[in-house]
Structure 1
């Protein structure tokens, strides 16, 4: 049988063109599907252990529903986050959700207003002004606010120091930031412990802005002033605790002057194992990232109606745990084997790890 080569080639070309067109349509549809329901994550940074673990949890939720996770890094600058959000929203945002930390309280309302105009559902973490709540400010947009109880965290560290010093001695505190409600809460918790342990004397409070290097410098100054009269240092987070321990190590005082922190970092766990650090507070950032991402996504998809939720589910703390030499191995294993989170599983138990509603006055900055 004779084959008409030119006709055959034209047919092949047509088939190829149709295949290319079909692939293009499939790619376009796939892109449209992934763009719908995007989970946007606004964080201060990605280098720290806390934020890396937070993103791991949030991204695992996005992956479980085959959605795109968009990470925006503010570098502790609220205006930088707003600028990035405007760029993301300008391209259209169908059923998008946002989990974000306003770098300071001053940016909370602006983030909510910008997101409301774009139809984006929002869960904020850590920072919100005392006078703003999800049920009275952009209530259809602002799904919830989530944090950890800083007073409880500071109290845990303070009582660990009280016990280690048998209730007596000079101590100093390194706060996070002078304009941070969380830093104020943790100092209030420490002072609550001191009130119950009156033999402790708080000789100084300085602010390390959550940074290891600043805490190291502050501790050097204290050692020059107080020497071995200083018996303990309560740091507002594990990074600053690590900085304090570095300064103590320079003088051979690590393990002799007690140090506490908060967050539950791998570095802190290692320092506790070595005997250089007394205690920290585990806050499970991976779970926090997963729960807040799932909550925002549930509202965006219509699986929950924020305005029908009780206030205790819209402004809540998550559970945290004290970690010291007696139980640190358990938490090391938990950190090594962090699970992947599935939205289908989480959406029925979003508040299982809630410690209760954030009390009135908790977000005041004094």
Structure 2
């Protein structure tokens, strides 16, 4: 994957905040829900490529939550005990993560959300993308392709995670515009390609010749559905299939005309959250990540906002080659 480069403004930022940080290197932990799949690997890699990390100005530790809220809670306890200066949180569960945030706040450690949400007023700020919007976008693609008629299945993310909740809200918004479309099946595959393949295999058997659309709440699950369709000897082009994230295999599938995808810029979410964390540690710090120039509409605003919304990028035949080139 291509590393994010520095710019002249990054070097200027080093002068503004870097010297103080280098004298007493801050410790920042990133508690992510799981690192098995490519999207969160992209997120974590981008965090490690943040200019402040590469220049040795911050001591960064990334914790793999193993898709378990209890594991994430224990990792927060470790960071609190070890006196981390700030925490970036990508929770597996919107409600269960609130206790971890509260414990960190009680210890005086600021917590910054990224990618997925936690239901807590104690979060210092959040950097992510509007999952309701992406759920609507993918749902609308599928429904438009099948002409607002027919039968669809919905493959959901982990039940209780904010992305699952909000993307389903967007799915429902799109479905409300097509009252003649029937949802034959709806079940979680926990962001897993393998689980989604098994689900789709079962659904193709239970509803032979009836499924016309697949709304998968992430790319991995859309790809699993495609594998099941191919294994059943069916033509992928007979189905409207959409996912979310823009992982590499999904970009290739879009190029092949097998599905639609929406790129979620996990790198911007990760690096934006780290800039905010470093600002909380050192008031003189200026953002070093180039993502603020990439998305000027997001607006740094001296790190004072509670919400930073990273835009979605629909993957198209026109931009897919460029997106694939960035992964090399």
Per the TM superposition, whether the score is higher than 0.5 is: yes
Structure 1 residue 183 displacement after superposition: 1.1
Q: Which residue of 2 aligns with 1:43?
A: 32
Aligned counterpart in structure 2 of residue 201 of structure 1, from 174, 182, 187: 182
1:74 aligns to 2:65 (yes or no)? yes
Q: Which residue of 1 aligns with 2:124?
A: 143
Q: Distance in 2 between matches of 1:34 and 1:247?
A: 55
- Structure 1 gap segments, 5+ residues each: 1-31, 337-366
Q: What is the RMSD of the two structures over their aligned residues, measured on CA atoms?
A: 2.6
Contact kept in structure 1, 2:86 and 2:109, CA below 8 Å: yes
Q: Distance in 2 between matches of 1:34 and 1:236?
A: 45
Contact kept in structure 1, 2:152 and 2:211, CA below 8 Å: yes
Aligned counterpart in structure 2 of residue 329 of structure 1, from 297, 321, 325: 321
Aligned counterpart in structure 2 of residue 86 of structure 1, from 60, 77, 83: 77
Aligned counterpart in structure 2 of residue 128 of structure 1, from 118, 125, 128: 118
Give a deviation string over 1:172-221, Cα, whole Å, max 9, x none.
Answer: 11111332332122122122222223443322212212211221111112
Contact kept in structure 2, 1:99 and 1:123, CA below 8 Å: yes
TM-score by length of 2: 0.80
Q: Which residue of 1 aligns with 2:281?
A: 300
Shift in alpha-carbon separation, 1:310–1:204, aligned structure 2, 3 A: farther
What does residue range 185-264 of structure 1 map to in structure 2 within 5 Å? 185-253=166-234, 254-264=236-246
Structure 1 residue 117 displacement after superposition: 4.2
Contact kept in structure 2, 1:57 and 1:288, CA below 8 Å: no
Structure 1 residue 293 displacement after superposition: 0.9
Structure 1 residue 297 displacement after superposition: 1.2
Q: Which residue of 2 aligns with 1:27?
A: none
SS of the residue corresponding to residue 269 of structure 1 reads: helix
Contact kept in structure 2, 1:35 and 1:68, CA below 8 Å: no
Contact kept in structure 1, 2:265 and 2:310, CA below 8 Å: no
Aligned counterpart in structure 1 of residue 255 of structure 2, from 252, 259, 273: 273
Contact kept in structure 2, 1:273 and 1:328, CA below 8 Å: yes
Contact kept in structure 2, 1:56 and 1:289, CA below 8 Å: no
Contact kept in structure 1, 2:25 and 2:57, CA below 8 Å: no
SS of the residue corresponding to residue 166 of structure 2 reads: helix
Give a deviation string over 1:307-337, Cα, whole Å, max 9, x none.
Answer: xx8999213432112224343223223444x
SS of the residue corresponding to residue 62 of structure 2 reads: strand
Contact kept in structure 1, 2:155 and 2:215, CA below 8 Å: yes
Q: Distance in 1 between matches of 2:23 and 2:157?
A: 39
Structure 1 residue 65 displacement after superposition: 5.4
Q: Distance in 1 between matches of 2:43 and 2:276?
A: 14
Structure 1 residue 270 displacement after superposition: 1.0
Structure 1 residue 86 displacement after superposition: 2.8
Contact kept in structure 2, 1:238 and 1:280, CA below 8 Å: yes
Shift in alpha-carbon separation, 1:311–1:299, aligned structure 2, 3 A: closer
Shift in alpha-carbon separation, 1:203–1:87, aligned structure 2, 3 A: closer
**How many aligned positions are there?**
290
The structure with more radius of gyration:
1
Shift in alpha-carbon separation, 1:77–1:299, aligned structure 2, 3 A: same
Q: Which residue of 2 aligns with 1:352?
A: none
SS of the residue corresponding to residue 147 of structure 2 reads: coil
Moved more, 310-319 or 157-166: 310-319
Q: Which residue of 2 aligns with 1:60?
A: 49
Give a deviation string over 1:10-40, Cα, whole Å, max 9, x none.
Answer: xxxxxxxxxxxxxxxxxxxxxx958731221
Contact kept in structure 2, 1:170 and 1:231, CA below 8 Å: yes
Structure 1 residue 285 displacement after superposition: 0.8
SS of the residue corresponding to residue 309 of structure 2 reads: strand
1:317 aligns to 2:309 (yes or no)? yes
Shift in alpha-carbon separation, 1:196–1:334, aligned structure 2, 3 A: farther
Moved more, 232-241 or 317-326: 317-326
Contact kept in structure 2, 1:162 and 1:197, CA below 8 Å: yes
Moved more, 267-276 or 198-207: 198-207
